[in-house]
A = this chain, B = another copy of it.
Amino acid sequence: MKQFRVPIELQPNLLGQSVEMRFPTELKRVGDLSEAASDTVCFLENPKFLDAALEIPAGLLIVGTQFRGHDFPRANLLWTEHPYMTFVMLVRYWLKLEEQSIPAGISPNAIVHATAVLGADVRISDYVVIGENCRLGDRVVVDAHCVVMENSRIGDDSRLYPRVTLYPDTIVGARCILHSGVVIGADGFGFVPYQGRQEKIPQLGNVEIGDDVEIGANSAIDRSTFQTTRVGNGTKLDNLVQVGHNCVIGESSILCAQVGLAGGTTIGDRVYLGGQSGTAGHHVIGDDSLIGAQSGVLGDLEPGSRVLGSPASDAGLQKRIIIAGRMLPDLLPSLKKIIKKGE
């Protein structure tokens, strides 16, 4: 269970709501209901956990107004309409406080090029290498062993976990989180067969990541051939995701683990790509589309599409195909007999 290093101050004003205090407490931890104790913050939103919650001790139970009328005698209570969201916001606020308690500064074991421009209160850790003409915003955190190559920019409040590589000319927005092993801006995969050899097409563009983007461990986003591979504001990529060169991804989309976008894919806003799904190159996936896990998209998709399968087709049709396919082996002998009779 997460122990906060910084003492947690009860911050009812933060939430604009008041807390029903039954006993004094010093909140130290957060957890789920099974871990609740008199120094713990937890929440109740799902009615199926109501019985379990009635008797637990809790330093602070963030509880849905839908449960008004029930008594939670061993808990200090914060009533709210969105308990989970309130909990999330509170924890994020405390994590931020904790983060800020780590002093800013540049490790003596980091190499920052003389031409790099660093914002206020940046934290640059051991063995980091920051190249020529890079610009880091305020409060940027660059963990150990990151390599930020020349002309790259990182926006305010972004964090690079250990061992992230930004190739030259990469732009990362504000409040982004890049996890360990991420590689942004490696060459797109472009070759022309010429005289029996695969000749490399120089990859001259770059990558631009919007604000509030999170990118999972060991994911890779390639630079564009000429212009810019883009990931829009608020989009989240899980681990081991591959984004090919010249892709343009919209805002608030979700790419689950091991998704692969071939070069030149355009993804709209609020698109969901399930784990291990992929797209063939140069297609356009409309806003609000939902692509099932392990699907393979071979063409353009209208906004609001729901697809499954490899090759992907409409989710309803695909489910019917799967059900029909499962019946086929048992029907086949009879069908063959009928065909034979009919001849």
Contact = CB atoms under 8 A, between A and B. Distances in A.
Interface of A: 1-2, 30-32, 35, 82, 84-85, 88-89, 91-92, 95, 109, 111, 125-127, 129, 143-145, 147, 149, 161-163, 165, 167, 177, 179-181, 183, 186-187, 189, 191-194, 196-202, 204-205, 212, 214, 216-220, 222, 226-227, 234-236, 238-240, 242, 244, 252, 254, 256-258, 260, 262, 275-276, 278, 280, 293-294, 296, 310-311, 313, 317, 320-329, 331-332, 334-339, 341-343
Contacts of A84: 192
A321 B88 CA distance: 46
Given A1-B226, A200-B214, 11 more contacts: A1-B204, A2-B226, A30-B204, A88-B199, A127-B127, A179-B187, A181-B220, A218-B218, A240-B240, A242-B258, A337-B342
Contacts of A329: 317, 320-321, 323-324
Given A30-B204, A181-B181, A278-B275, A220 B239 contact: yes
A338 B337 contact: no
25 contacts: A1-B205, A1-B226, A1-B227, A31-B226, A32-B227, A35-B226, A91-B202, A95-B202, A129-B162, A147-B180, A161-B165, A163-B165, A186-B216, A186-B217, A187-B214, A197-B212, A197-B252, A198-B236, A217-B220, A220-B239, A278-B294, A294-B310, A321-B328, A327-B332, A331-B339
Contact of A147 (B31, B145, B238, B275): B145
A258 B258 contact: yes
10 interchain residue pairs of minimum CB distance: A2-B204, A320-B329, A183-B217, A217-B220, A165-B180, A147-B162, A186-B217, A189-B238, A220-B239, A324-B328
A326 B339 contact: no
Contacts of A197: 212, 234, 252
Given A129-B126, A227-B35, A324-B329, A192 B85 contact: yes
A342 B333 CA distance: 12
Contacts of A91: 202, 204
A202 B88 contact: yes
B242 A257 contact: yes
Contact of A276 (B82, B179, B278): B278
A167 B239 CA distance: 15
Contacts of A244: 238, 257
